[in-house]
Amino acid sequence: MTDPLFDLSGRFVLVTGGSRGLGLEMVRAFAARGADVIIASRKLDSCEAAAEDVRQLGRRALAVSVNMSHWDQAEQLAEKAWSHWGRIDILVNNAGMSPRVPSHAMTEDLFDKVMDLNFKGPFRLAALIAKKMFDGEGGAIINVSSSGALYPLPEVVPYSGAKSALNAMTVSFAREYGPKVRTNTISPGPFLTDIAKAWPEEARQTANNALGRPGRPEEIVTAALFLASPASSFTNGAIIRVDGGS
């Protein structure tokens, strides 16, 4: 039975960082509503496992190994994804990393890695896909940012800066490639994904937000489906906060 509000039948989706965490939740949600999905991340075996989840739902899937911090690999992914099905209808820029390091101890190498993975690679991939969408039948781009871009925390300055740049890119792309391409941002707060396994138990139970707790991974799904589907046809250049009320 198709979802009457978020029907993605016949849509082709590319999700970076789609093999675990919030990315994997989105991959499964898209496939459950009729989409075929390309899952991209560094570890091919993890992508293959996610692709098998999609196939179990009766949809097609392709696993691709990519390091999104590299400009040329972002270009290669754009070409491979587009040529695989002849188009991409929905791009989710989800790959990222957020190491916590005191600012005075940050190395240039780590600074560059954080900026490249969270902004440079996503920019290049989205720019290429957006142009192809604009020249074709249009599409939707979803950038996954962070509440850290809106409410920066100590010891994650490069991450907050990169995600702030991603937010700015969303607004720029909405104007540059609209009206055929809609570009929006999801801004998540703390979520109980696999990285939360390393958190203290108190941090897994409570959070400094209006709801007083971290998010459950499945709680990202409705925001992603809204922005990916025609239900958000008049939403462009927006930042959708899914952060429990930070």
Q: Which of 6, 123, 159, 173 is catalytic?
A: 159
**Tokens 């293959």 belong to which residue?**
48
User: Cα dihedral sign for 234, 237, 241, 242?
Assistant: positive
Q: CA–CA separation, 151 vs 81, rounded Å?
A: 34
| Strand partners for 239 | 185
| 159 is an active site residue | yes
Q: CA–CA separation, 114 vs 112, rounded Å?
A: 5
Instruction: Please list the active-site residues.
Output: 159
